[in-house]
Chains A and B, each alone.
Chain A
Amino acid sequence: MSGSDTDDSGQPSREERVESGIPRLDFILKGGFKQGGIYALMGPPGSGKTILANQLCFNHIDKSEGRCVYMTLLIESHAKMLRHLGSLSFFRLEEIPDNLYYISGYKVVRDQGFSGLLELIRGTLRERRATVFVIDGMESAEQFAPTVQAYGEFVHSLQALASLLGCTTFLISNMRERTHTENALVDGVVELSDRLIGPRAVRELTVHKFRGSDYLRGRHEVEISADGISIHPRTEVQFAHPGPSAREQRLRMAFGLPRFDEMLGGGLPSGSTTALVGSPGTGKTLLGLSFLVEGARRGERGTYFGFYEPPPRLIEKAEAVGIPLDRYVKDGSISLVWQPPLEHLMDSLAEQLLEKIRAESARERRRLFVDGAEGFRAAAVYPERVPIFLSALTNQLRSLDITTVITDELELFQSELALPTPELANVAESVVLLRYVELRSQIYRLLSVMKMRESRYDTSLREFHISPGGIDVAESFQSAESILSGHGREVRPAPRRRTAPRTGGGRKGAVKKGAGTPGPKDKGRARPSRRGR
Chain B
Amino acid sequence: MKTILVVEDEFDVQQVVADVLKDEGYEVSVCGTGTEALRRLSESHPDVVLMDIMLPVLSGVHVLEVMRKTPGLDQVPVIIMSETIPRSIPSQSWQFFLKKPFRLEQLLDAVNRLFPDGRG
Contacts and interface: CB of A to CB of B under 8 A. Distances in A.
B10 A77 contact: yes
B59 to A, nearest CB: 7
B10 A78 contact: yes
A72 B9 CA distance: 10
B90 interface: no
B14 interface: yes
A124 B57 contact: yes
A525 B31 CA distance: 91
B56 A96 contact: no
B101 A120 contact: no
Contacts of A127: 57-59
Contact of B88 (A98, A103, A107): A98
A103 B54 contact: yes
Given A78-B100, A104-B11, A123-B35, A98 B57 contact: no
B58 to A, nearest CB: 6
A83 interface: yes
A107 B32 contact: yes
Interface stretch (B40-48, B70-78, B79-87, B104-112): B79-87
A228 interface: no
Contacts of A107: 9, 11, 14, 32
A140 to B, nearest CB: 11
B64 to A, nearest CB: 13
Contacts of B88: 98
User: Would you call the interface of chain B mostly helix, strand, loop, or mixed?
Assistant: loop
Given A98-B88, A107-B9, A123-B35, A77 B56 contact: no
A120 B35 CA distance: 10
Interface string A53-90: 00000000000000000011000011110110000000
Contacts of B32: 104, 107-108
B57 A120 contact: yes
A97 B82 contact: yes
User: Would you call the interface of chain A mostly helix, strand, loop, or mixed?
Assistant: helix
B57 A77 contact: no
Contacts of A101: 54, 59
A79 B59 CA distance: 17
B55 interface: yes
B12 A97 contact: no
Nearest to B11: A107
Contacts, number: 72
Contact of B13 (A77, A93, A98, A123): A77
B87 A108 contact: no
Interface string A111-130: 00000000010011001000
B54 A98 contact: no
Interface residues of A, number: 26
A215 interface: no
B103 to A, nearest CB: 12
Contact of A79 (B9, B56, B61, B83): B83
Contacts of A106: 10-11
A83 B57 contact: no
A239 B33 CA distance: 51
A98 B32 CA distance: 19
A102 interface: yes
A71 B10 CA distance: 10
A97 B53 contact: yes
Given A77-B12, A96-B83, A97-B86, A123 B57 contact: yes
Contacts of B56: 71, 103-105, 108, 120, 123-124
Nearest to B100: A79
Nearest to B12: A77
A512 interface: no
A110 interface: yes
Interface in A129-162: none
Nearest to B59: A97
Nearest to A108: B32
Contacts of A72: 10
Nearest to A123: B57
A96 B35 CA distance: 21
A97 B54 contact: yes
Contacts of B82: 97
Nearest to B55: A103
Contacts of B13: 77, 79
Best-surrounded residue of A71, A104, A127 (most CB of chain B within 10 A): A104
29 contacts: A71-B56, A77-B10, A78-B10, A78-B100, A79-B100, A82-B83, A83-B101, A93-B83, A94-B87, A96-B54, A97-B53, A97-B59, A97-B61, A97-B84, A98-B87, A103-B9, A103-B54, A103-B55, A104-B9, A104-B10, A104-B32, A105-B9, A106-B10, A106-B11, A107-B9, A107-B11, A123-B56, A123-B57, A127-B58
Nearest 4 CB-CB pairs, A to B? A79-B100, A107-B11, A123-B57, A79-B101
Given A78-B54, A97-B61, 10 more contacts: A77-B13, A77-B100, A79-B83, A94-B87, A108-B32, A108-B56, A120-B56, A120-B57, A123-B35, A123-B56
